[in-house]
Structure 1
């Protein structure tokens, strides 16, 4: 099990990106949360199998019809307790 903080930059607020991240996390069995940041980015804490995390990030990098992902920064964090993926 791996845990990461993921910062997503681009057009990712007000376009359904957090909902998209939540649905994608369910598809790849990722737990954690996602929230908007005041600088216009989106912050996530994610946890799951490394292969699922790679697929999850590859999918969210494509964005939705209205979003555009310019940059993703992924940092290892300590494991946390979660059993779902929440929108904050």
Structure 2
């Protein structure tokens, strides 16, 4: 299963990505997390459904310094993943840096 997330609130500059990576790896998820220009954080994760549910619950809290206002989540089909992003779903969870 592949899930895409968009997390809004005070989620940049509070170690959100590093902590999301740590949590995702502990749950044995594959994928990525990145900051977005609008101040939100975006993530895409693949793995066991129960692990994805736990990850989504964590995203709703975030690290202690964050303030999460909302989490949008949707299930994706493999055909909906851009080829550039697909490689991240095959390896351990990582932080993506945008240009």
Q: What TM-score, normalized by structure 1, do the two folds share?
A: 0.92
Higher share of residues assigned strand: 1
Take 1:37 and 1:82, find their aligned partners in 2: how far apart are those partners?
Answer: 22
For residues 8-46 of structure 1, the C-alpha deviation after alignment (integer angstroms, 9 at most, x for no partner) is 111100110000100000111111000000000001111
Correspondence for 1:84: 92
Correspondence for 2:46: 47
Larger Rg: 2
Count of aligned positions? 87
Q: What TM-score, normalized by structure 2, do the two folds share?
A: 0.82
Higher share of residues assigned helix: 2
1:1-88 equivalences in 2 (<5 Å): 2-79=1-78, 80=86, 81-88=89-96
Deviates further, 70-79 or 2-11: 70-79
Gaps of 5+ in 1: none
> Shift of residue 77 of structure 1?
1.4
Gaps of 5+ in 2: 79-85
RMSD over aligned CA atoms reads: 1.1
